[in-house]
Amino acid sequence: MDTKYVRWRLQAALLAVVAGLGGCAVGPDFNTPAAPAADSATYTPDPLPAQTASSPGAAGGAQRFVTGMDIPAQWWSVFRSPALDQLLRNALAQNPDMAAAEAALRQVRENYNAQAGQLVYPAVNGALGAGRQKTQVATPAGSQATVLNLYNASVNVSYTPDVFGTTRRTLEGARAAVDYQRYQVEATYLALSANVVTAAIQEASLRAQLQATRDVLEALTRQQSVIEKQFEYGAIARTQVLSQRNLVAQTAATVAPLEKALAQTRHLLSTLAGRLPGETGMPEFTLASLTLPEQLPVSLPSALVRQRPDIRASEELLRQASADIGVATAALYPQFTLNGSYGSASPTFSKLFEGDNAIWSLTAGLTAPIFNGGALRARKRASEAAYDVAAAQYRATLLTAFQNVADTLRALESDAAALTAQAESEALAAETLALSEEQYKLGAISYLSLLDAQRVFQQAHISLVQAQAARYADTAALFQALGGGWWNRADGVPAATPVSTMQSISRNP
């Protein structure tokens, strides 16, 4: 066969491949769901105040809400704690959940690359073979054995033109799976950083509560010594001594649970940092080592849907479901295949690559569904129902995200007001206790009145510490609810699928 003719036929096949790439992708084109129409930070029915209430003492400063304020990538730096910054760096580098999420992203990206390489490009395979065969040949004198040798070498090309978009929709869904895992990595990053900050604040709160309880216990023990002396001199009844001893014992009984909670919180911090609980070198946190930020960001609702990793991940599941509809729709249309081979065959290896021994083939095929009992259309309807499921789940994720922000904003406002009231209550309780102690020494009040004053002050003091810690914890919760600023990181979200491959398959007519 003329070599020029063979070359012309192969060029014709290549043109057919190119024509196949220019086909239309059936099924719906995915559109990103519209963001909430509100263009102001209206997360709650009632507008937020310009700033929270303020009160004297630790963690009592007013916090100002700033609409549209961006969030730093290392959002925990607003607490101005070098120990917390170092702990977060260690946790992000060593936490196994973080490592697992990043490994899962690498896995799904490589699966996408494998799928794209298999579907987008023609499959080209080389073959080299040798055979020896004995046959019987009929002759006038009878049959005669003949031994034949056959050597062949060929290159085989097969391709399925993407006329109706099966490949493009399949890879669109695969890209959505990659992007979904990208946002899962960011969600893990955000959850880990928030858990570390929350645990550090919890440790600081427990240390403050434990110290406050010990201070109260020390004061009660000193008071008990005085009462014991008074009883020895017969100035008071034994019932008063027993009441004081009971109060000291009750207060002492609250120390062990606080120590237990503190130890467990320290263990949690070690685990989050990817370390064994028994390892040393973990930093210790106190409320005094943390700074309450004066400005709090309030993202616009239209920005929140692009900032929350869980919303973005849910959007990718929706896009994947949309692509699945396209795949199911394309299955209703004919599928084309092209196969070609070029090589040579010879009974002797030395003449295998001579021009006269060239062989080639070129075939084209079409497969069209005729009757399948309605299975293909049922699969299409099922994919449409799956899209509705994903749309409902996206809506639920969106509503939950807005609820998180609304709850946290109100909590911050309430925390400030509660701390103001609690600081006043603690100050009054301390003043009342001091007066009661003086009056009791002078015999102006009963011992029961003194006990009541001691109990009130003890509870007010512990509640003040808890109110201070709540402001730190809910401040961290706000940054988490708003997405955590991952979009401002230098490394950012890891790159998605190869751009060149995506562009070559994603254009619709």
Note the Cα 139 to chain centre separation in Å: 80
pLDDT band at 95, cuts 50/70/90? very high
| Token pair belonging to 172 | 């669109």
CA distance 330 to 376: 10
b/e for 428-460, b at 16 or more Cβ within 10 A?
ebeebbeebbeebeeeebebeebbebbbbbbeb
Question: DSSP state, 34?
Answer: P
CA distance 40 to 24: 41
CA distance 358 to 371: 42
Cα Rg for the chain, rounded, in angstroms? Answer: 38
**Per-residue pLDDT, 404:** 96
- Name the more confident of 365 and 504: 365
Top-level class of domain 3-28+48-505: mainly alpha
- Domain spans of the chain, in order of start: 3-28+48-505
- Name the more confident of 346 and 289: 289
CA distance 307 to 247: 52
Would the pLDDT of 269 be above 80?
yes
Q: Which of 184, 169, 167, 215 is nearest to 106 (CA)?
A: 184
Q: Determine contact, residues 419/55, Cβ cutoff 8 Å.
A: yes
State how far the alpha carbon of 317 is from the alpha carbons of 36, 165, 322, in Å: 19, 20, 9
Q: What percent of the chain has pLDDT over 90?
A: 55
What residues contact 421, with CB distance under 8 A and at least 6 apart?
none
Q: Which of 404, 40, 393 is nearest to 190 (CA)?
A: 404
Phi-psi region of 110 (alpha: psi -120 to 50; beta: other; left: phi over 0): alpha
pLDDT band at 40, cuts 50/70/90? low
pLDDT band at 48, cuts 50/70/90? confident
| Token pair belonging to 162 | 């993407």
Q: Determine contact, residues 420/364, Cβ cutoff 8 Å.
A: no
Q: Determine contact, residues 198/290, Cβ cutoff 8 Å.
A: no
Would the pLDDT of 479 be above 70?
yes
> For strand 64-67 and strand 295-298, is the pairing parallel, antiparallel, or unpaired?
parallel
**Per-residue pLDDT, 6:** 45
Q: Tell me whether residue 393 is exposed, middle or buried, using C-beta atoms within 10 angstroms of its C-beta: 0 to 12, 13 to 18, 19 or more.
A: middle
- Name the more confident of 345 and 267: 267
CA distance 438 to 432: 10
pLDDT band at 495, cuts 50/70/90? very low
Among 128-142, 179-193, 236-250, which range has the highest average pLDDT? 179-193
| Number of other residues whose CB lies within 10 A of the CB of residue 290 | 25
Q: Determine contact, residues 401/301, Cβ cutoff 8 Å.
A: no
Q: Which has the minimum average pLDDT: 97-106, 108-117, 228-237, 267-276?
A: 228-237
CA distance 51 to 108: 45
Q: Which of 323, 316, 306, 318 is nearest to 506 (CA)?
A: 323
Give me the phi and psi of 61, to 5 degrees please: -70, 150
State how far the alpha carbon of 342 is from the alpha carbons of 219, 305, 353, 359, 360, in Å: 98, 55, 12, 6, 4
**Per-residue pLDDT, 496:** 37
Position 209, amino acid: Q
Q: Is 191 helix (H, G, I), strand (E, B) or coil?
A: helix
CA distance 396 to 201: 30
Please write the tens of the pLDDT for every residue from 379-434.
999 999 999 999 999 999 999 999 999 999 999 999 999 999 999 999 999 999 99
What stretch of H or E contains 182? helix 166-232
What residues contact 334, with CB distance under 8 A and at least 6 apart?
163, 164, 366, 367, 368, 369
**Per-residue pLDDT, 75:** 96
Would the pLDDT of 14 be above 60?
no
Length of the chain equals 509
What residues contact 38, with CB distance under 8 A and at least 6 apart?
301, 302
| Token pair belonging to 262 | 């503190």
- Name the more confident of 192 and 42: 192
Q: Determine contact, residues 467/419, Cβ cutoff 8 Å.
A: yes
pLDDT band at 142, cuts 50/70/90? low
> For strand 335-346 and strand 358-367, is the pairing parallel, antiparallel, or unpaired?
antiparallel
Would the pLDDT of 31 be above 70?
yes
pLDDT band at 19, cuts 50/70/90? very low
Position 452, amino acid: D
State how far the alpha carbon of 228 is from the alpha carbons of 243, 250, 286, 434, 449, in Å: 11, 18, 36, 20, 18
Q: Is 295 helix (H, G, I), strand (E, B) or coil?
A: strand
**Per-residue pLDDT, 240:** 84
Please write the tens of the pLDDT for every residue from 297-325.
999 998 999 999 999 999 999 999 999 99
